[in-house]
């Protein structure tokens, strides 16, 4: 079985009818890159930079971050690398910084909200990213964007940092892409507005499901509500993809759903361009996509969008998968 999958290691991801898709990896540290290459990743769709901050006793300096980002960029050999700016708060805490006490940390002071409030910390990260951008194809991605103004503020701050680097004669890639996670329902619904400003979207279903269903992603008691393939989620995903495509932006997904065998045919049918997942899921996903015709996937997704329940969607997909063999 392993050998069967090996065939898919060094080939580009293609659907049965020859359409190109991208299969990328989620990583948390530069040492994860090895596994990405071993498993034929076509890029890094999500580098969760918070681990540089969490496995530390101080906010990492610009220089420390630069070295880490540069390492990843160089090892990926000119393939796309999307690095997400600090997504701290919620369940992710720092030993050297005291977060304000809040009733609902998942709805509180975290991620881009923190970065926009702490510009000196944000500056170190953006400068490190820009400096690393000359070593490959970098995308800078902001987490937990809820409003167009947040995205515009964050993007303007990148421009400010670019000007600083210009004045200091420090090189960066002028074409560095600046995009956002779509993981808050307000952003998914408004995707066509965000797409005017964002170079790309990456759908974060781990949080999008949590916030859409108002069900804590860590709580076992309400885990029955954790339904990525519920028609309501499929509709939010569709709005995001359509909104991005209307402005010619590519749309990826880096939530767990992107690597899930039952979800992949649906996501193909909804038009998703890039699938970012744990390295161990990549080859199986590439094999599966090679067995699916886009016309069939589109029919499947359209049917699913009209169903009432998650259970019905999963039954529909299982039937589809059984008929592939």
Size of the site for ligand PEP (CB under 6 A): 10
For the bound state, the minimum distance from the C-beta of residue 55 to ligand PEP, rounded and expressed in Å, comes to 15
Is 278 a binding residue for ligand PEP by CB under 6 A? The answer is no
If you ran DSSP here, which 8-state letter would residue 18 be given?
-
Q: Distance (Å, rounded) from C-alpha 21 to C-alpha 42?
A: 10
Of 32, 42, 124, 183, the one binding ligand PEP (CB under 6 A) is: 183
Rounded to an integer, what distance in angstroms lies between the CA atom of residue 98 and that of residue 75? 35
**Rounded least distance, CB 130 to Mg ion, Å:** 23
Decide whether 27 or 161 has the Cβ nearer to ligand PEP.
27
By beta carbon distance, the residue nearest ligand PEP is: 204
- In the complex, the smallest distance separating the C-beta of residue 99 from ligand PEP, rounded to whole angstroms, is 16
**What is the distance between the alpha carbons of residues 104 and 214, in angstroms, rounded to a whole number?**
12
Within 10 A of 106 (CB to CB), how many other CB atoms are there?
A: 16
Q: Is 48 in the site for ligand PEP (CB under 6 A)?
A: yes
When CB distances to Mg ion are compared, the closest residue is 207
Cα–Cα distance for residue pair 262/86, rounded to 1 Å = 31
Unique residue bearing structure tokens 């600083």: 164
**Selected binder of Mg ion within 32, 42, 199, 207 (CB under 5 A):** 207
Using CB under 5 A as the binding rule, whether residue 256 contacts Mg ion is answered as no
Note the helical H segments in the chain: 2-6, 33-38, 50-54, 62-75, 111-117, 119-132, 148-167, 185-189, 191-194, 205-213, 231-246, 264-270, 282-290, 294-305, 310-322
22 versus 145: smaller Cβ distance to Mg ion: 145
With H, G, I as helix, E, B as strand and everything else as coil, classify residue 109.
coil
* Site membership for Mg ion, residue 204 (CB under 5 A): yes
Binding-residue pattern over the window 205 to 224 for ligand PEP, x denoting contact by CB under 6 A: xxx-----------------
Options 10-18, 64-72, 189-197, 198-206: segment touching ligand PEP (CB under 6 A): 198-206
CB of 84 to ligand PEP, least distance (A): 8
- Strands 274-277 and 200-203, by their bridges, are unpaired
Name the site residues for Mg ion (rule: CB under 5 A): 183, 204, 207
Residues of this chain that bind ligand PEP (CB under 6 A): 46, 48, 87, 183, 204-207, 254-255
């Amino acid at each position: 079985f392993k050998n069967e999958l090996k065939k898919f290691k060094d080939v580009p991801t293609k659907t049965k009818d020859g359409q190109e898709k991208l299969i990328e990896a989620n990583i948390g540290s530069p040492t994860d890159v090895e596994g990405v290459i071993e498993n034929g990743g076509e890029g890094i769709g999500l580098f969760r930079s918070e681990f540089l901050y969490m496995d530390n006793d101080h906010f990492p300096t610009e220089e420390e971050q630069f070295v880490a980002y540069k390492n990843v960029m160089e090892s990926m050999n000119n393939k796309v690398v999307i690095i997400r700016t600090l997504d701290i708060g919620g369940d992710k805490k720092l030993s050297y910084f005291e977060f304000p006490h809040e009733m609902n940390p998942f709805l509180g002071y975290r991620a881009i909200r923190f970065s926009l409030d702490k510009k000196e910390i944000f500056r170190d990260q953006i400068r490190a990213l820009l400096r690393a951008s000359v070593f490959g194809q970098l995308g800078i991605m902001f987490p937990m964007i809820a409003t167009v103004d947040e995205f515009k503020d964050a993007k303007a701050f990148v421009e400010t940092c670019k000007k600083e680097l210009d004045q200091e004669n420090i090189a960066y890639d002028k074409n560095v892409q600046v995009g956002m996670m779509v993981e808050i329902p307000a952003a998914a619904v408004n995707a066509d507005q965000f797409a005017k400003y964002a170079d790309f979207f990456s759908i974060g279903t781990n949080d999008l499901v949590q916030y859409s269903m108002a069900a804590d992603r860590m709580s076992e008691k309400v885990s029955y509500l954790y339904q990525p393939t519920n028609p309501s989620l499929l509709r939010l995903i569709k709005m995001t993809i359509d909104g991005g495509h209307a402005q010619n932006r590519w749309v990826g997904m880096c939530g767990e759903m992107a690597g899930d065998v039952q979800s992949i045919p649906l996501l193909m049918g909804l038009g998703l361009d890039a699938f970012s997942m744990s390295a161990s899921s990549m080859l199986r996903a590439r094999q599966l996509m090679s067995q699916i015709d886009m016309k069939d996937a589109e029919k499947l997704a359209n049917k699913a969008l009209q169903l009432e329940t998650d259970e019905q969607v999963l039954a529909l997909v299982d039937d589809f998968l059984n008929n592939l063999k």
